[in-house]
Structures are given as structure tokens and as C-alpha cells.
Amino acid sequence: MLVNEKMPQRNIAVLISGSGSNLQAIIDACKTGKLGNTKICLVISNKADAYGLERAKKANIETKVISHKNYSDRQKFDEELHSSLIVAKADVVCLAGFMRLLTADFVNKWQGRMINIHPSLLPAFKGANAIKDAYEYGVKITGCTVHYVVPEMDSGPIICQKAVVIEPNDSQESLAQKIHQQEHIAYIEALQSVLI
Ligand code: GRF
């Protein structure tokens, strides 16, 4: 889809903790017009050394580090997140490898406007080690899911899923690579259906 001048601009904020390869996919999709009149208004990381921050800076996107270590509890951390998103005028919040649990209060404020990507075919293999867990379980098909965020972790209405076949010669690493490739496609498809 190419930029439609008549579409109002939509601002998305992306929350990361690490490499930011999904963030990169979103940056690229914005640049090539695949997300219509969409701008990444802010990238927030809870870790100062997240490589995704470099990706954002390279694309001239505003970044902010909000270290969870500087907050006495989750509530206070989430309040800072929320006010940063409001200041940035975010319409939609994308969790892309953001490795913090969010309070129900925060999630409720953004419910219906916040999406997450998870490296399994939910509701199978919730949690932080989804790829390892699926590999060790011995499933023959796994994949990734983009879903709306609800207070319960790795739950919420599914927007898009991509399946990945686990071949007999796959290692955990090769499986992870295949899943990440599909994630980058799934996140853009999900955003297209949410934004456009
Ligand atoms: C992805 O596998 C995503 O599903 C999970 O965290 C990882 C983030 O990767 N939630 P990246 O930082 O986008 O490269």
C-alpha cells in the first residue's frame, strides 16, 4: 500500500529491550510506504544498551531510555511509560521484544491500541523461552503471533500468525532464525490491518 495523502497521520511508538529486528522491519515498512501515513514517533527501551536504539537513531527516530532499575515498583515505571507515550502523541503502541511485564492499569489504558509479537503459535508456548520450549517439546510446527495486549501475559485477540515447520535437521538456532524471518512479515501484516 502506498501513502494515501488523505489518510490522517498515525503515530506509533515501539517498545524494545534488545536487538530490535522487528523495530527495523517496522522502520523499513514506514519508509517504503507499506504502512500508509504512519510515523514512528518514539522508540522506548528499558535497557540503555539495546541495539534497537541504534537502529532508531540511524533512522532519525526519537528515542528514550526508561530503565526499570530507576523505579521502585512496576506502577511507577508504567506511569513514566504512559506519560512518555502521551507526550509523543502515540496512537498505537508496538511491543517488539520488550521484556517487561506491564501492570493491568497500564494495559487497560492502551487496550485495543497496543500489540505484541510472540515467537510461538499462541496459545501454545507462552513465556520468555517460547522457541526453546517448542523445540524441546518436539512439535513439528511452530511460528509467531501478533496479538492485542491484555493484562494476562501472551494472551489477547490474535491479529496475525505465521507457521514455521520444524525440519528434522533444524537446530534451535536455525529454528529461531526462521521464526524471526516470519515475525518481520507478520508484524507488518498485523500493523496494516490495525492501521490501514
Ligand atoms: C522476538 O522473537 C519477539 O517475538 C520476542 O522478542 C524477540 C525480539 O526480537 N517477543 P527483536 O528485538 O525484534 O530482534
Closest Cα to atom 8, ligand 1: which residue?
97
Any idea of the CA torsion for 47, 189, 177, 42, to the nearest 10 degrees? -20
pLDDT reported for residue 8: 87
Instruction: Determine if ligand 1 sits within 6 Å of the CB of residue 183.
Output: yes
71 CA distance to ligand 1 middle (Å): 24
Joined grid coordinates for residue 3: 501513502
Q: Residue 16 in contact with residue 97, Cβ under 8 Å? A: yes
Ligand 1 pocket, residue 131 CB under 6 Å: no
- The β-bridge relationship of strands 158-165 and 141-148 is antiparallel
- Does the Cβ of 154 fall within 6 Å of ligand 1? no
* Amino acid at residue number 14: V
Q: For the chain, give the percent of residues with pLDDT over 90.
A: 95
pLDDT tops 70 at residue 2? no
Is the sign of the CA dihedral 150, 104, 179, 50 positive or negative? positive
- Is any ligand 1 atom within 6 A of the Cβ of residue 143? no
Mean pLDDT, rounded, of the chain? 96
Beta bridge partners of 95: 15, 116
Residue showing cell 503471533: 145
pLDDT digits (tens, 9 = 90+) for 32-69: 999 999 999 999 999 999 999 999 999 999 999 999 99
**Assigned C-alpha cell, 101:** 511485564
- Give me the pLDDT at residue 5, please: 56
What whole-number percentage of the chain has pLDDT above 70? 97
Tell me the three cell numbers of residue 163.
507457521
Q: What radius of gyration, in Å, describes the C-alpha atoms of the chain?
A: 16
- Pocket probe mutation, ligand 1, options 117, 154, 173, 188, max atoms within 8 Å of Cβ: 117
Cα separation, 10 vs 22, in Å, equals 19
Tell me the catalytic residues.
Answer: 118
Residue 7 has a pLDDT of 76
- How do residues 107-134 score in pLDDT, each as one tens digit? 999 999 999 999 999 999 999 999 999 9
